[in-house]
Chain A
Amino acid sequence: MTDAKSPGYRPRDWSQHPPYLSPEYKSTVLRSPRKPLVPMKASLSELTGPVFGHESLDALDADLTRNGRVNGEPLGERIIVTGRVLDEDGRPVPNTLLEVWQANSVGRYVHKWDQHDAPLDPNFFGAGRCATDENGRYRFISIKPGAYPWRNHHNAWRPAHIHFSLFGPSFVTRLVTQMYFPGDPLLPLDPIYNGVPEGARERLVSRFSIDVTEPEWALGYEFDIVLRGRNETPTEG
């Protein structure tokens, strides 16, 4: 384990993250590292990391209902997804980039390997980016993704989800996760969701918000993300 007193970031909290081996999710069986992770102290290599923020964005990146448009609006239920990116001490993580990707409204991805017998939407490619503001808040517009079948086990269906990828302030704050939707009946059956320890997995489910919802236009969901915090409180400048 990382020395909790060393400068840098708090260790990955394995009480919150899924273990590499989670046999109900069959692909983990041969792809899970089995030897113990080697502890390391943070050096400059772990205190730095790729820096991406607002300067990496194009105008339509945060609107998935427009960035793939060819001849009309994508089909499906329009949604607004927003939330804050915070560290473990509740401090906002400002100007940090989020990459998101998802299936379309009927559960089909734009990907050469996705053979699910559901239609592609010519006006939706299901990928976007946004960045947090000074309060750590992000927001993007999309279409509610559909469930889709996969071959993990008989009659296996993934619950509707949106993939999120974040770098945060350093190489070690990297996080790739998935956001789910409240009340999805597939959640208790999903080995990927259930790979996360109980108590932690529930925080991957977004909250419906009537305040975020915009009249006559789109339903709102809130999803906050917590990245690793600093070991020491940085000096306030």
Chain B
Amino acid sequence: MLKQTASQTVGPYFAYALTPQSYGRVGLGSSTMVDQETRGERIRIEGRVFDGTGAPVVDAVIELWQANAAGRYRHPADTRDHVEIDPHFTGFGRTGTDGQGQYWFDTVKPGALGDGQAPHVNVTVLARGMLSHAFTRLYFDDEAGANAEDALLQSVPADRRATLVAKRVETGGGVAYRFDIHLQGDDETVFFDA
């Protein structure tokens, strides 16, 4: 059997390749995951990324992968043809944090997959100083019933579960879910051996 190629840090200078919007180029993914015709409840996912001292991480890359509002992934391994694909939604987003460690995505709230899992968004965190990336998940605090039935969320020690649950806030612009990511420290976000 072949050995997996080792991970290395994304480093500080990824922007021209991974998040090139600030240089006027088009990237694979961006903060805006929806267009006018995307179906579902429009939400903003926003938060900040912090290091072990609580200082903002200003050069992280955050990637999201999620099902559409009906709960379907746009991928050949999701063969549930009775759940509709939304041609206006890929489910992928990517952005870098800004000078305050902040990030945001405009997306739709994902539907449940129908397999007992609560609605969730899959999150990848990469940064200078991280030799390997980290996987986490975002759950929604207004899905308390579904969250209580989610086997993975319930497998997380109770005192750390809250790090995975985004808080719904009403803003002037609409609905936002706050999801801060702590790479280290007392509030360290739960990362998965996915």
Contact = CB atoms under 8 A, between A and B. Distances in A.
Interface stretch (A42-50, A72-80, A181-189, A211-219): A42-50
Contact of B6 (A16, A33, A38, A109): A16
A176 B155 contact: no
Interface string B1-15: 111111111111111
Nearest to A1: B193
Determine the main DSSP class of B at the interface with A. loop
A16 B78 contact: no
A109 B90 CA distance: 31
Nearest to B58: A113
B131 A13 contact: no
Contact of A226 (B4, B75, B128): B4
Interface string A207-237: 0000000000000000011111100000000
Contact of A16 (B3, B52, B90): B3
A88 B2 contact: yes
B156 interface: yes
A101 B6 contact: no
Contacts of B188: 33-35
A226 B162 CA distance: 35
A38 B191 contact: yes
A192 B193 contact: no
Contacts of A62: none
A39 B194 CA distance: 7
Contacts of A47: 75, 77-78
Contact of B113 (A17, A45, A178, A228): A45
Contacts of B67: 45
Nearest to B55: A30
Contacts of B120: 45
A227 to B, nearest CB: 7
B100 interface: no
A25 B131 contact: yes
B148 interface: no
B36 interface: no
A17 B131 CA distance: 8
A22 B76 CA distance: 38
Contacts of A192: 8-9, 131
A89 B135 CA distance: 24
Nearest to B124: A174
Contacts of A40: 152, 155, 192-194
Interface string B136-178: 0100000000000000100110001000000000000000000
Given A170-B77, A226-B5, 18 more contacts: A30-B52, A33-B191, A38-B193, A45-B73, A45-B137, A46-B122, A48-B75, A48-B77, A50-B29, A89-B2, A99-B18, A101-B14, A103-B13, A109-B13, A113-B59, A127-B20, A171-B124, A171-B194
Interface of B: 1-18, 20, 23, 28-29, 51-53, 55, 57, 59, 63, 65, 67, 73-78, 90-92, 113, 115, 117, 120, 122, 124, 126-135, 137, 152, 155-156, 160, 183-184, 188-194
27 contacts: A12-B4, A16-B4, A20-B131, A30-B52, A30-B55, A30-B129, A31-B51, A34-B52, A34-B184, A35-B190, A40-B155, A44-B73, A45-B65, A45-B113, A45-B120, A46-B194, A50-B29, A88-B1, A103-B13, A111-B13, A127-B16, A127-B17, A174-B124, A178-B9, A200-B3, A203-B5, A225-B5
